[in-house]
Chains A and B, each alone.
Chain A
Amino acid sequence: MSPDQAEGAPAADSDAARFAAARGRDTDQIADNLQWVTEPALAYLDLDQLLSEMLHRVTRILDTDTSAILLLEPDGETLAARAAKGLEEEVRRGFRLPIGLGFAGRVAATRRPVVIEDLDSSPIQVVNPVFREKGVRSLLGVPLVVEARLIGVLHVGTLELRSFDQDDVHLLQTVADRVALAVDHGRLRDQHRIAQTLQRSLLPRSLPALPGYEFAGRYLPAARESAVGGDWYDVIDLGANQIALAIGDVAGRGLVAATVMGEIRSAVRAYAIEDPSPADVVARISQFVASHDSPMATLIYAAMDLESGRIRYARAGHPYPLVVDAQGRANYLTDAGGPPLSANGPNRYGEAELVLARDEALFLYTDGLIERRGRRLTDQEELLAAALERAPLHADAMCTAVIDEMTERGEFPDDIAVLIVRNSGLGDRIAFEIGTRPDELARVRGLLRRWLTEGGASDGDVDAITLGASEACANAIEHAYGPGDARIAVEATRDRDAAVIEIRDHGRWREPRGASRGRGIPLMREFMDEVDIDTSREGTTVRLRRRIGGGR
């Protein structure tokens, strides 16, 4: 090639031109080569393929026999071989060395290019036995640096003696910068994927299906790819007609936030099952966060009695929840507030209570739904309340409509989680099935009490009918065939001024066994106006009837 050609090369290719001038090669070829190692399409390879491809290309361009990439371990003190050409044993053996030691260790320690002209006479103590085994004579190494962070070392070597010059150094450093970026992105991508998987796996796969209630939950990741937030929600069935609702947000993003979120979620589940008050749960989670040196987090924890709709809740630094009433009016619940969960949080939190009446919805969300750069929080809160008032009443439709409106159909800077529970009422008739475990009896009573109360029955009527139905179900459970799969159908309807409860099983009632069952049927008769027990080959149907409002 001639100097003329080099001078005629476009300014953007000056690296190539200088390199070509020094190596006596064709400028266009060199420009192609540079292009070749920095090709954007490489970004689509996974990290190992990418590193391997980069080494292949750099070995060819620089005409070397070996090349290798060592990456800094998470400890920040050790380099580990990650990819190599001509020195494959280095990777296979898991070669590691501390920063400062050996050839690569020196590159890392100085963060500057290091040249070894002749390994045999070098003052640098070379540690890696593979160099000797392969007969490597000359080496050139450069640091891998991203945003002033050292992340590893890239080196090339020859079996013949060679004097690597400034242009070689320059080219290798260009490749190294490209590799460093790719490694950093690849790691972020991996971390992001892990964080995302973790985060998704920690959200409920489905929300409970409970008669007379609608649940809706959403998690929307922000558009930025490298940032999974610590937003989460949970609905926990505590049995005995009790559930717990939780929504929270862990400060920060990525793997740490997702991990802490998982820890808090597990801790909430563990405490919830012990049945302390919401204020206690939140205080204990606060202590948990403090003792784990976790990032700051916010939380609303609510315990709900499905039978009465009574909700007790406590709030730690989390945005105010809202209640949408039967007329569609949205109101913020501003009480029961406390500071976020953190090391210097209090060990007591306040607690408040509300009853979620029929057709009312509780709306919980994380701050990503309302916080927008440059907008006042109070304005945003007003927007949210207005969006809720315009939204359809059904929980799922409400969720979609409010998120659509608040995100202006796609624009939001932070992750969003939303959880809604709505008391949709049981209606005139309820029909459901139970299994044959005795702890299902409480569920039957809870549903019947709610249905009867909704229908205007007095406390006396509610207690009496509940007892009759529970006794009939206890009989059916006792007589069910075998363990496990048997189902008992319960149906409650109104017949003019009376409530009629029908319990059907597929077993056959035997003669009463023991004192308990002996008392069950007389109790049923005592508290109901009519008790019909119809036993056939297919099973037993008990029909209970009691006039409502007639007094005891």
Chain B
Amino acid sequence: MTLAKLHTELEKGVGIARISGEIDASNRTEMRSRLLDLIHNADWGLVLDLSALRYLDSAGIEMILHLAKRLDSRQQRLRVVAPPDSFVADVLDAVRLREIVPVDEDVAEAIGELEPQA
């Protein structure tokens, strides 16, 4: 049984990855490689939707930073979605992730930021 579930879709050239469940040291590598597969099909970048994620710790943070680096090297961008006041947002704030990767409150906002400006 898997600890986390990943749902992916492509919208307007943006990859959207919605992760539910928990990310820790046991599944971060598998999750990372599935997310890297997704960015190959995206044009502008990736929205990592963590609204339904129940648990995230330093292993998950490392995964996000690794993704950000890879996207950067492909001239793509990463945006993370975490509802304010959620546990996941608390963890992101505790490691000051916003200083490296932008965090949005919802998916629509994140997609809007990634789409090429008209």
Residues of A participating in the B interface, judged by any CB pair closer than 8 Å: 238-240, 242, 273, 275, 437-439, 441-442, 445, 459-460, 463, 466-467, 470-471, 474, 477-478, 514-517, 519-520, 522-523, 526-527, 552
Contact = CB atoms under 8 A, between A and B. Distances in A.
Given A519-B62, A526-B94, A438 B1 contact: no
Nearest to B28: A516
Interface string B57-98: 111011001000000000000000000000100110011000
A438 B87 CA distance: 22
17 contacts: A238-B1, A240-B22, A273-B1, A441-B25, A442-B22, A442-B24, A467-B55, A467-B57, A470-B24, A470-B55, A474-B24, A516-B58, A516-B61, A522-B95, A523-B57, A523-B58, A523-B91
B3 interface: yes
B2 interface: yes
Given A238-B1, A474-B25, 13 more contacts: A240-B3, A275-B2, A439-B26, A442-B24, A463-B90, A466-B55, A467-B91, A470-B24, A471-B57, A516-B58, A517-B58, A522-B94, A523-B95
Contacts of B26: 437-439, 441-442
A439 B22 CA distance: 11
Given A467-B91, A520-B58, A523-B94, A240 B25 contact: no
Nearest to A518: B58
Contacts of A463: 55, 87, 90
Contacts of B24: 438, 441-442, 470, 474
A477 B59 CA distance: 13
Contacts of A478: 25
Contact of A519 (B2, B61, B87): B61
Contacts of B87: 459-460, 463, 467
Nearest to A439: B26
Nearest to B95: A519
Chain A contact surface mostly = helix
Contacts of B61: 516, 519
A355 to B, nearest CB: 17
Q: Which 7 A-B pairs have the closest CB atoms?
A: A438-B26, A238-B1, A516-B62, A519-B58, A520-B58, A439-B26, A438-B25
B65 A474 contact: no
A280 to B, nearest CB: 14
Nearest to A468: B57
Contacts of A441: 24-26
A238 B3 CA distance: 10
A477 B25 CA distance: 10
Nearest to B5: A275
A552 B25 CA distance: 25
A517 B59 CA distance: 8
Contacts, number: 73
Contacts of A474: 24-25, 57-59
Contacts of B1: 238-240, 242, 273, 275
Contact of B57 (A275, A514, A520): A520
Nearest to A466: B55
Contacts of B57: 467, 470-471, 474, 520, 523
A238 B57 CA distance: 23
A478 B94 CA distance: 22
A486 to B, nearest CB: 16
Nearest to B97: A519
A460 B88 CA distance: 11
Contacts of B2: 240, 275
Interface in B28-74: 55, 57-59, 61-62, 65
Given A471-B57, A474-B25, A515 B65 contact: yes
Contacts of A516: 25, 58-59, 61-62
Contacts of A470: 24, 55, 57
Contacts of B25: 438, 441, 474, 477-478, 516
A477 B57 CA distance: 15
A527 B58 contact: no
Nearest to A474: B25
A102 B66 CA distance: 82
Nearest to A459: B87
Contacts of A527: 90, 94
B59 to A, nearest CB: 6
Nearest to B59: A516
A514 B91 contact: no
Contacts of B3: 240, 439, 442
Nearest to A272: B1
A320 B26 CA distance: 39
A110 B24 CA distance: 76
A462 B41 CA distance: 38
Contacts of A438: 24-26
The interface centre, meaning the residue of B3, B25, B90 with most chain A CB atoms within 10 A of its CB, is B25
A140 to B, nearest CB: 68
A519 B94 CA distance: 10
Contacts of B59: 474, 516
Nearest to B29: A438
B90 A552 contact: yes
Contacts of A275: 1-2
B94 to A, nearest CB: 4
The interface centre, meaning the residue of A467, A474, A517 with most chain B CB atoms within 10 A of its CB, is A467
The interface centre, meaning the residue of A238, A441, A460 with most chain B CB atoms within 10 A of its CB, is A441
A515 B62 contact: yes
A520 B91 CA distance: 11
Contacts of B58: 471, 474, 516-517, 519-520, 523
Contacts of A240: 1-3, 22
A440 to B, nearest CB: 8
A466 to B, nearest CB: 7
A445 B90 contact: no
B96 to A, nearest CB: 10
